[in-house]
A and B are shown apart, each in its own frame.
Chain A
Amino acid sequence: MQPDPLDPNFAEATSLHPAVVPVLVCVPPNTPTAEAIALMSEAQTSYVLITQQQRPIGIFTERDLVRLIASSQFAPSQPISTVMSASVKTLCTADIQDTLRIFQQMQQHQLRHLPVVNESQQLVGIVTKESLRQTLTFSTLLKLKQVEEVMQTEVICASADTMVRQIAKKMNEHRVSCVVILDAGDRPVGIITEHDIVQFQTLGLALDQTPAQTVMSTPLLPIHPKDSLWKTHQQMNQRRVRRFVVCRPDGELAGLITQSSLLQALNPAEVQQMIELLQQEAEQLRTEHQALLEARNRELRARQAVLTEKLKTEQAEHQKADDQIRFQAGLLDVVAQAVIATDQAGYILYWNRYAQTLYGWSAEAVMGRSILEIMPDLKAQAKAAALINRLRQQEVWSGELLVQRQDGSQFPAWVVLSPTCNEQGQVCGIVGIADDISDRKRLEAERSAADTALKLAYRKLDQSHEALESRVATRTAALRQAEHRWRSLLEEVQLVVIGLDLTGKVTYANPFFLELVGYTAEAVIHADWVSCFISPSERAQVSDYFQQLNLQREIPSQHQNTILTKSGKERIIVWKNTLLRDLQNNVIGSMSIGEDITERFAIDRIKGEFVAMVSHELRTPLTAIHGGVKLLSQGIVPSQSDQGQALFQVVVQSSQRLVRLVDDILTLERLESGEYPLHKQFINSQTVTRQVTDALRVMAREANMVIEVCDPGIPILADSDRITQVLTNLLDNAIKFSPPGSTIHLTVESREGQGDPHVLFAVCDQGKGIPAEQQPTIFERFVQADQTGNREKGGTGLGLTICRNIVEQHGGKIWVESRLGEGSCFFVTLPIEPSKTS
């Protein structure tokens, strides 16, 4: 049942206080309880007032119903008077003051309903916590406060499967108006209130069989501890509920906020604090306002001061402008140019002092007259008139005009004319500035003449310059050609070319040199010649030579020295040196051209040594023959004496040696020059070995030696005589240098396994051996391992050289393997030609 605004009770009630609302459910004492509850449910109220003659005699609330249900004492047909609270506390209309006082009275008596009666104790309305809460207008205060500040934290809870009657029992037991339903994880999922119990009862629910989860109010409206009371208040209004479960953001139960909680927030101390706060705010605002006002005043005063100052400045500027005008007028008078101003028709308005001097007319004489009047003739007047017209079109003109003085004489003037405009930009006059340019004209004429002469001179200069350039070009081309010729000569010549500066640094090195020494040009250029390229033993000498050369002393232009290559090898160079000079004939360095004579030098040395050797080898037997023959023939030594006989023997042996030597030299010479062609034919190796052993067997026997031959008889392609000569020589040596009683082995075998197939001859003795360091050289001319004994044994020193020559001509090899004290083996290989081996 909604309050009807037209109900006289309601009008009376609300006029007392907004919280006093009409009583919606009133029943007489004999009304059955079930009926009373149905009315309560229908009117959505939390109470039923029991009245008699409009006087309240009892009250039955939701809580009372819960109590009955909890104790299972509910009897529907029982009169309400038997279960109601009989001692009803009322509020007299005369005692009604403010909302807070009413709330305090309700709290004091722990009441939720306060019936209001007039002086005659007749019921006029009721105050409930809901009606009280709805009057709350302290929105600021509610906005400032948070739910967590006033919420109840002691909350009665039950699990979702609890039966409704059990819930009612809990409510009754703890005297609370609601129970919060929790899920299995102890999170609040719903709520059951006293009001709900009333509804269930009305609907006839089986309270013992109905679990909470089927009837609870769910889901819960999310009210958080940090929400404002104002929001809560508004939500209560909107949803028409009396409490909210407060949950933390994570869904945990935080507490319960009820209408009482909201009303408690309005206790007087709080309000007083709020008022003080507001007073402080008001005071602060007043102060701020005062400050603003003062600031504004200050600003206005400052602005006034600025304006005053500006005014003063403007006045000063006006004064200054006036002064400036006066000053400029004065200037125009002292300027050394005629300044004339006219109106737009050409009538003179201003005529400065210099104009008087230039034209001869005073200002007074011309002021107001037309400018055309001072033109010398009609032609000039026509031109001036045309100019005035042009200037009216706002053009500026400058040029030369012929002008007449007062005395009739004329002069050329340089005139600049410009229009003057009024404030609207319209032409209102003309200002002309004129200058006598007689002198300038004369100077110009003179300069023009000079220019012409100068141009002529320039032209002549240009011509000769061109001729010179052409000559230079021709000469440069010739020089380039010569330079190119020289450079290609230097680059290609098979001679060393080196340029040095005066400090001995390399300034040029040709490719032949670079190739010879193995350095790059970058490494050579700027390197110090003597320290980098000259053999240490010759450095001082070469350094001295170049010093002398650079000082232009008398020294031979040719010299020879040894240079070092990158790999450390020495090259012998014979140099021809020339000084380099600059255009002033100063010496700036030297250019050396050198020939690499290393090979030639080596050949010369070998030749020299050979000649010396041959000379020695020839002279020795000659000396013996010559001496022996002379001593005998002159009878100095009697021929029959022992010494005489000895001399005879010396002569004979020396003669034989001489013959052998000459033979060997000739043989070698012929072999080397190719005059001895080989007559190769297929022979059996045994043919050769037999020939050799036959020839030497006697000699061996005399020396008490044995020659053992092992020759399977291998076919070879060779010059039989020559190979016989080689083997004879080797066997002869073996006999000569072996001790008596020893055996000499001559073996022949075929080698086909390794490398090219060949026949290997070996001559092995049991002599004293050849030192390792001599083994590589014993095949050279006149080199003998055992030189001391060789002469006596009749060797010429050419035998092994001849052997090597013959073997190499056959395409074979010869070498020695030897150990000191054990003997030597000489090996000779001859190739078996593949086509013949098969």
Chain B
Amino acid sequence: MTRQILAIDDEEAIRIILKASLEFTAGWTVLTAASGQAGFAIAQTEQPDAILLDVMMPETDGITLFHQLQAEASTQKIPIIFLTAQAREVERKRLEALGCGVILKPFEPEIIAQQVRTLLDWQKS
């Protein structure tokens, strides 16, 4: 079964790298969104298997969007993995405390799919 992943990041370069990495290494379908609000709309309509969510975004940032998704019945069950450029331990713990997986930037494109599987406890598919 092909997984569908939603990648939300305001940086186009990151969206391109993420899409290429996941599609070429895991064969998942990758949807992308350039802002929090666009991502929220796609999440509701497409019901992806997981969301890769950038923390630092203008307007609706990652944390705000996380709460928005949690509050919405149709999206609250979608697992979320945060992408952050903040290398600080404090920041990582804060995100993990929300019950989410965290992947740091810069990430390794060849293993990011594996990281997602591990975090979400997915069997290889």
Choose one: A623, A650, A788, A791; the contact of B106 (CB below 8 Å).
A623
In this assembly, does B34 line the interface, its C-beta being within 8 Å of a C-beta of chain A? yes
Q: B106–A622 contact, CB under 8 A?
A: yes
Q: CA–CA, A619 to B11, complex, Å? A: 11
Give a binary string over B12-54; 1 marks a CB under 8 Å from any A CB, 0 the rest: 1110111011001100000000110000000000000000000
How many residues in B have their beta carbons less than 8 Å from beta carbons of A?
26
Q: CA–CA, A788 to B105, complex, Å? A: 20
Q: A791–B25 contact, CB under 8 A?
A: no
Q: A650–B13 contact, CB under 8 A?
A: yes
Whether A630 touches B108, Cβ cut-off 8 Å, given contacts A624-B17, A646-B16, is: yes
Return the chain A residue nearest B54 by Cβ. Answer: A620
Give a binary string over B86-121; 1 marks a CB under 8 Å from any A CB, 0 the rest: 110000000000000000011111100000000000
Return the chain A residue nearest B112 by Cβ. Answer: A627
Q: CA–CA, A792 to B108, complex, Å? A: 23
Q: A615–B87 contact, CB under 8 A?
A: yes
B99 to chain A, nearest CB (A): 23
Q: CA–CA, A626 to B16, complex, Å? A: 13
Q: A650–B17 contact, CB under 8 A?
A: yes
| Across-interface contacts of B78 in A (CB, < 8 A) | none
Q: A619–B85 contact, CB under 8 A?
A: yes
Q: CA–CA, A634 to B14, complex, Å? A: 18
Q: CA–CA, A626 to B109, complex, Å? A: 8
Q: B86–A615 contact, CB under 8 A?
A: yes
Q: CA–CA, A472 to B106, complex, Å? A: 75
A615 to chain B, nearest CB (A): 6
B90 to chain A, nearest CB (A): 11
Q: CA–CA, A340 to B21, complex, Å? A: 146
Return the chain A residue nearest B87 by Cβ. Answer: A615
A586 to chain B, nearest CB (A): 43
Q: B11–A620 contact, CB under 8 A?
A: yes
Q: B109–A630 contact, CB under 8 A?
A: yes
Choose one: A615, A627, A634, A792; the contact of B17 (CB below 8 Å).
A627
| Across-interface contacts of A791 in B (CB, < 8 A) | 10-12
Q: CA–CA, A612 to B11, complex, Å? A: 17
Return the chain B residue nearest A611 by Cβ. Answer: B88
Q: CA–CA, A621 to B17, complex, Å? A: 11
Q: How many A-B residue pairs have CB under 8 A?
A: 88
Q: CA–CA, A622 to B106, complex, Å? A: 7
B22 to chain A, nearest CB (A): 11
B112 to chain A, nearest CB (A): 9
Q: A615–B109 contact, CB under 8 A?
A: no
Whether A643 touches B59, Cβ cut-off 8 Å, given contacts A619-B85, A619-B106, A636-B110, is: no
| Across-interface contacts of A623 in B (CB, < 8 A) | 13-14, 17, 85, 105-107
Whether A788 touches B85, Cβ cut-off 8 Å, given contacts A626-B106, A631-B21, is: no
| Across-interface contacts of A653 in B (CB, < 8 A) | 13
| Across-interface contacts of B59 in A (CB, < 8 A) | 787-788
Q: B20–A631 contact, CB under 8 A?
A: yes
Give a binary string over A621-655; 1 marks a CB under 8 Å from any B CB, 0 the rest: 11110111011001011000001001100100110
Q: CA–CA, A637 to B85, complex, Å? A: 24
| Across-interface contacts of A624 in B (CB, < 8 A) | 11, 13-14, 16-17
A203 to chain B, nearest CB (A): 149
Q: B86–A616 contact, CB under 8 A?
A: yes
In this assembly, does B56 line the interface, its C-beta being within 8 Å of a C-beta of chain A? yes
| Across-interface contacts of B10 in A (CB, < 8 A) | 787-788, 791
| Across-interface contacts of A787 in B (CB, < 8 A) | 10, 58-59
Q: Which bracket fits the contact residues of A?
A: 20 to 34
| Across-interface contacts of B86 in A (CB, < 8 A) | 612, 615-616
A547 to chain B, nearest CB (A): 30
Q: A637–B24 contact, CB under 8 A?
A: yes
| Across-interface contacts of B56 in A (CB, < 8 A) | 616
Q: A627–B35 contact, CB under 8 A?
A: no
Q: B34–A788 contact, CB under 8 A?
A: yes
**Which of B20, B21, B34, B110 lies at the interface centre, i.e. has the most chain A CB atoms within 10 A of its CB?**
B20
Q: CA–CA, A653 to B16, complex, Å? A: 13
A604 to chain B, nearest CB (A): 14
Q: A616–B106 contact, CB under 8 A?
A: no
Choose one: B13, B25, B108; the contact of A654 (CB below 8 Å).
B13
| Across-interface contacts of B34 in A (CB, < 8 A) | 788
Q: CA–CA, A623 to B10, complex, Å? A: 14
Q: B24–A631 contact, CB under 8 A?
A: yes
Whether A620 touches B87, Cβ cut-off 8 Å, given contacts A630-B110, A787-B59, is: no
Whether A620 touches B17, Cβ cut-off 8 Å, given contacts A627-B109, A630-B110, A788-B58, is: no
**Which of B14, B17, B56, B108 lies at the interface centre, i.e. has the most chain A CB atoms within 10 A of its CB?**
B17
| Across-interface contacts of A615 in B (CB, < 8 A) | 85-87
For chain A residues 691-732, which have a beta carbon within 8 Å of chain B?
A: none
Q: CA–CA, A647 to B86, complex, Å? A: 24
Q: CA–CA, A612 to B86, complex, Å? A: 7
Return the chain B residue nearest A621 by Cβ. Answer: B13
A243 to chain B, nearest CB (A): 137
Give a binary string over A254-288; 1 marks a CB under 8 Å from any B CB, 0 the rest: 00000000000000000000000000000000000
B16 to chain A, nearest CB (A): 5
B75 to chain A, nearest CB (A): 22
Q: B85–A620 contact, CB under 8 A?
A: yes
A636 to chain B, nearest CB (A): 5
For chain A residues 577-634, which have a beta carbon within 8 Å of chain B?
A: 612, 615-616, 619-624, 626-628, 630-631, 634
| Across-interface contacts of B105 in A (CB, < 8 A) | 619-620, 622-623
Q: CA–CA, A650 to B9, complex, Å? A: 15
**Which of B56, B59, B107 lies at the interface centre, i.e. has the most chain A CB atoms within 10 A of its CB?**
B56
A254 to chain B, nearest CB (A): 124
Q: A650–B16 contact, CB under 8 A?
A: yes
| Across-interface contacts of B24 in A (CB, < 8 A) | 631, 636-637, 643
| Across-interface contacts of B110 in A (CB, < 8 A) | 630-631, 634, 636
Q: CA–CA, A619 to B88, complex, Å? A: 13
| Across-interface contacts of A643 in B (CB, < 8 A) | 20, 24
Return the chain B residue nearest A628 by Cβ. Answer: B17
**Which of B14, B56, B86, B109 lies at the interface centre, i.e. has the most chain A CB atoms within 10 A of its CB?**
B109
Q: CA–CA, A622 to B85, complex, Å? A: 10
B6 to chain A, nearest CB (A): 18
Q: B16–A647 contact, CB under 8 A?
A: yes
Q: CA–CA, A816 to B88, complex, Å? A: 36
Choose one: B20, B85, B107, B109; the contact of A616 (CB below 8 Å).
B85
Q: B17–A647 contact, CB under 8 A?
A: yes
Q: B109–A631 contact, CB under 8 A?
A: yes
A737 to chain B, nearest CB (A): 14
**Which of B56, B106, B107, B110 lies at the interface centre, i.e. has the most chain A CB atoms within 10 A of its CB?**
B106
Return the chain A residue nearest B38 by Cβ. Answer: A788
19 pairs across A/B with beta carbons < 8 Å? A615-B85, A616-B56, A620-B13, A623-B13, A623-B17, A623-B85, A623-B105, A624-B11, A627-B14, A627-B20, A627-B107, A631-B17, A631-B21, A636-B20, A650-B12, A650-B16, A788-B10, A791-B11, A792-B12
**Which residues of A pack against B, CB within 8 Å?**
612, 615-616, 619-624, 626-628, 630-631, 634, 636-637, 643, 646-647, 650, 653-654, 784, 787-788, 791-792
**Which residues of B pack against A, CB within 8 Å?**
10-14, 16-18, 20-21, 24-25, 34-35, 56, 58-59, 85-87, 105-110
The 4 closest A-B pairs by CB, nearest first: A787-B58, A624-B13, A627-B17, A619-B85
Beyond known contacts A623-B13, A791-B12: 8 more, CB 8 A cutoff: A620-B85, A623-B107, A624-B11, A627-B21, A627-B107, A628-B16, A636-B110, A787-B58
